[in-house]
A and B are shown apart, each in its own frame.
Chain A
Amino acid sequence: MNVTRRGFLKISGAVVATSGLGISLKPIAAHAQPLKIKYAKETTTVCPYCSVGCSIIVSVRDGKVINTEGDPDSPINKGSLCSKGGSIYQMAVNENRLGKPLYRAPFATAWKEVEWEWALDKIAKNVKKSRDISFKKTNDKGEVVNRTEGIASVGSAAMDLEECFTYQKFLRGLGLVYIEHQARI
């Protein structure tokens, strides 16, 4: 079967595409640094920055991102990327990413690394305490409002659609009404 790289991405639904297994890299090969991405697993993504929605191919070898480049199949960007989109390699390969939950105790002057389990337990208790003391069943007029007035949330357009739905469910389930995010600013 003669399958081009672009064609292969289409057939595979772009989940996992492997180049270098007898697959012709023409005609995109000339632009795609074939040596650099040899034996790499390819997935597609969409740029996390502005709202144009440019597609990007991410090449991974041994669990590490080795290359990112504009996806020529996308009718929107046709392989082009701007300076930000062209840099998403550095979002994954970056020593400055936070790797562990950090905790700052009241009046402390420094962060402390903590375990997830410990942090989430403590947050859950804080949420319950704040909710329980500020929960209003009725407002000043005596109308039923069932809301938590002592907690606010901002965020986030940086999450996926599914997470946005889930997050609003989480917040409204807790009774929050102070719910805002990037769209307001």
Chain B
Amino acid sequence: MTNHWNDFKNSDVILIMGSNPASNHPVAFKWIQEAIDKRGAKLICVDPRFTQSAAKAHLYAPLRSGTDIAFLGGMIKFILDKNLIHHEYVVSYTNASFLVNPAFKMPGENNGVFSGLVSGKYEKDTWSYQTDAEGVIKKDKTLQDPNCVFQLMKKHYSRYNTKLVSRITGTPEDKLLEVYKIYGSTGKPDKAGVELYAMGWTQHTVGVQNIRTMCIIQLLLGNMGIAGGGVAAMRGESNVQGSTDHGLLFHIWPGYLGAPTASLKTLKDFNEKRTPKTKEKDSLNWWKNTPKYSASFLRSMYGTNLTIDDAYQIMPKLDDGGNYSWLTIFDQMYKGKFTGFFAWGMNPACSGAHSNKTRQAMTKLDWMVNVNLFDNETGSFWRGPGMDPTKIKTEVFMLPAASSIEKEGSIANSSRLMQWRYKAINPVGSSKPDGDIMSELHFKIQDLYVKQGGPLKEAITKLTWPYGKKVGHEFHYEPRTVAKEINGYFLEDKKLENPTKKGEFKEFKKGDLVPTFAWLQADGSTSSGCWVYCGSVNEKANLAMRRISKDTSGIGLHSEWAWCWPINRRIIYNGASVDPKGNPWDPKRAVIKWDGEKWTGDVPDGVGNPGSGRPPFIMKPDGVASLYGPGLADGPFSEHYEPMECPVEKNIMSPQKNNPVIKRFDASGVGSDMDVYSGVTTCDPRFPFIGTTYRVSEHWQTGVLTRWCPWLAEMQPGMFVEMSQELAKERGIVNGDKCIVKSARGEVEATAIVTPRFKPFNIDGNTIHEVGIPWHYGWITTADRKYEPNDKKPEVHTFGDAANILTSTIGDANTMIPESKAFMVNVAKKGVK
């Protein structure tokens, strides 16, 4: 999230699209309601289904799953046609004025794709900017040049007229216009609009571009960086922000440093290639500090046991262009690539797309370690539906972990807020905190390499691990010590000039904590496990433990409640909340203010002294936000493409039906025999309905914890399929009937819930039905499975297996997040063909 939960109260218009906070982030709704009650804010909800959030909205507009870009593309056209933009913001703080290569072609003039498409990949040379002899980007601040970003954008989205959009999305034209008008009203400097999304936007083959489209809208309306504005990525797990920050993904090291690839042979190569450069004279280009963060991270791995250059050498490298993401892991596992597998605090047998493939993949392993609180479908995969344990070779270890109140440590919520959790009780039984388990395992493995040797054993034997105490065979992990490691230390005595005050020097001693990331060094004299958290712990306190709830900002920043990265800044990009002279666009809702000597309010982001001319989006090399985004794999602007599985023959917009650069797992030599799709080239009558997945308040994720909690299991006891009254009538289904929901990959049993919350869509004159299923269920807590005498048996059983049995191996072109929100299914009453 760019802003934070409390900040919803500062909004004038709140758009819920791609999420359902009333059900899935219920307490956040407190702040939405406050905006409605106290400011008279307008709430809009756009969703395929009339959700609990829709029930609270002033305006609800239905749309077909997977058509968000068409919907929002129409909004961009509306905003530009009616000139609702915040003009000065757009000219000063975005790349609207940048001139693009005249050879660049857009889908409207290029058969539905951008220029440069070669065998399923874009070559981006035509996407470049025009530069002068010094390499500075050419600009037209009047925004009139036909090759400037603003004019190109206008031309591109001119194709998204409401009539066409309505034919694609199924949203009635009058509803489209109503949404556009209300949201477009926030382009005035004294109005703020915020967008709230979650998996409803990410789980598509165009997921990143869904969000990009909204970012374009927010920038055009001047809604980024201001109170009550921003784009709120409402995350689904209590610490998924933090686990991402800490690089538990193949492509990033902690702090969003891109993981090194094989062609970057030395740390010097890495720093040279990965540090962005700019010729824009006023741009701060914060990522120019990359060498400080990479060196400090390497120090947190190997301390001074290795030089930073040697530490870089020893670290694992990806192949250039290689993909090691989730769908690839299970594809490779299915093909027997892995002998070993850790499913640590996860339940992939239910959570990953295409569960049948995922579960089969696990049978190919030699061993698996599953760490969890309860028995689950992953650890017990070998005895799940359709499995014959006597034929499955996989050796499985299920290790019991302590729950969040049985250990201490911190987590980062959606708004980057790091809050400390204290230990209340000892772990249940002999379960252990995850930190203890991984430490004990580390020392055992290290010991084996010390004694027996092995390939590049130094990678393990030289790793530092001063994170607690060994007591006999046990290791007591100390999160407070690790929090300091993440913050970072000085590794030698050092006298340094204050990076923010020229001429002022400060002396540090070896072992001192680094005050903020501005003090980190590229020469190996500092460590920091994750630079964005540098500043979270100081000599006096771990700031995540702060519990001062008062608010002195007047806009609900609550800056002394815990600590937020970066450097306790509660609203990022807040440098864009003031005009180029330094005056807040809206004085009543100022995020930062200049008092004549310094900025007050939130920790300022990106601004120099008022009138310095520094553009505020300092994480972008050019200092401005990107209306035009040439960094993405699938286009510098967004374009509507149909989901991989969809209910229409053709893309009504263009001859290009699907995102042209997604990885098709049904292509020869790519995926496996299990990777099939339906309705790709033509509509498949076997699977005529759109299927989508969602959550209910009472369960979390795959239900791996909540299905074992009787209060929750009782409230939401099982898998259902929600459908319209019209579809139910057509299929002879009534409320409560047991139904079979089937896709090209598998089927699940579900109880029919017939409601007016789904309505058939009119898609280009055709009636199209959509059905929805929750994704929290799994066979392990059901009543009808076999229980061995020693098995845990839930007090309240649930019914049904994973929704992901239906979804497919297909992912977003940029992130490879699976398309779990739009796929094709059939629904029939159980026993009826």
Interface residues of A (CB under 8 A from B): 9-10, 13-15, 41, 43-55, 58, 60, 63-65, 73-78, 80-85, 87-88, 90-92, 94-111, 113, 116-117, 119-135, 137, 139, 141, 143-185
Contact = CB atoms under 8 A, between A and B. Distances in A.
A87 B547 contact: no
B479 interface: yes
Nearest to B371: A155
B128 interface: no
A75 B317 contact: no
From B27, B333, B367, B460, name the one whose CB has the most chain A CB atoms within 10 angstroms.
B27
B813 to A, nearest CB: 14
Given A64-B425, A160-B411, 11 more contacts: A44-B547, A45-B424, A46-B404, A75-B6, A76-B413, A99-B400, A150-B339, A161-B486, A162-B486, A180-B324, A181-B243
A110 to B, nearest CB: 5
Interface centre among A14, A96, A97, A168 (most CB of B within 10 A): A97
Contacts of A185: 203, 326, 351-353, 817-818, 820
Nearest to B452: A128
B246 A74 contact: no
Interface in B530-564: 530, 533, 545, 547-549, 551, 556, 558, 561
B422 A151 contact: no
B316 A92 contact: no
A46 B30 contact: no
Interface in B303-348: 313-319, 324-326, 328-329, 332-333, 337-346, 348
6 contacts: A54-B27, A119-B399, A144-B265, A160-B410, A169-B301, A178-B328
A73 B560 CA distance: 12
A104 B404 contact: no
Interface string B640-684: 000000000000000000000000000000000000000000000
A183 B455 CA distance: 32
B463 interface: yes
Contact of B315 (A47, A50, A76, A172): A172
Contact of A111 (B391, B435, B709, B790): B790
Contacts, number: 505
Contacts of B342: 151-155, 171
A128 to B, nearest CB: 5
A14 B326 contact: no
A167 B700 contact: no
A178 B250 CA distance: 6
Contacts of B438: 163, 166-167, 170
Interface stretch (B37-45, B167-175, B441-449): B441-449
A52 B434 contact: no
Contact of A130 (B339, B442, B467, B529): B339
Interface in B417-432: 417-419, 421-426, 428-432
Contacts of B325: 180, 184
B411 A53 contact: yes
Contact of A96 (B25, B324, B793): B793
B340 A130 contact: yes
Contacts of A63: 425-426
B243 to A, nearest CB: 4
Contacts of B430: 99-101, 116
A33 to B, nearest CB: 17
A106 B395 contact: yes
Contacts of A50: 24-25, 234-238, 700
B547 A162 contact: no
Given A90-B709, A109-B389, A125 B448 contact: yes
A23 B447 CA distance: 52
B456 interface: yes
A162 to B, nearest CB: 4
Nearest to A16: B422
B239 interface: yes
Contacts of B345: 155-159
Q: Which of A74, A78, A113 has the most CB of B within 10 A?
A: A74
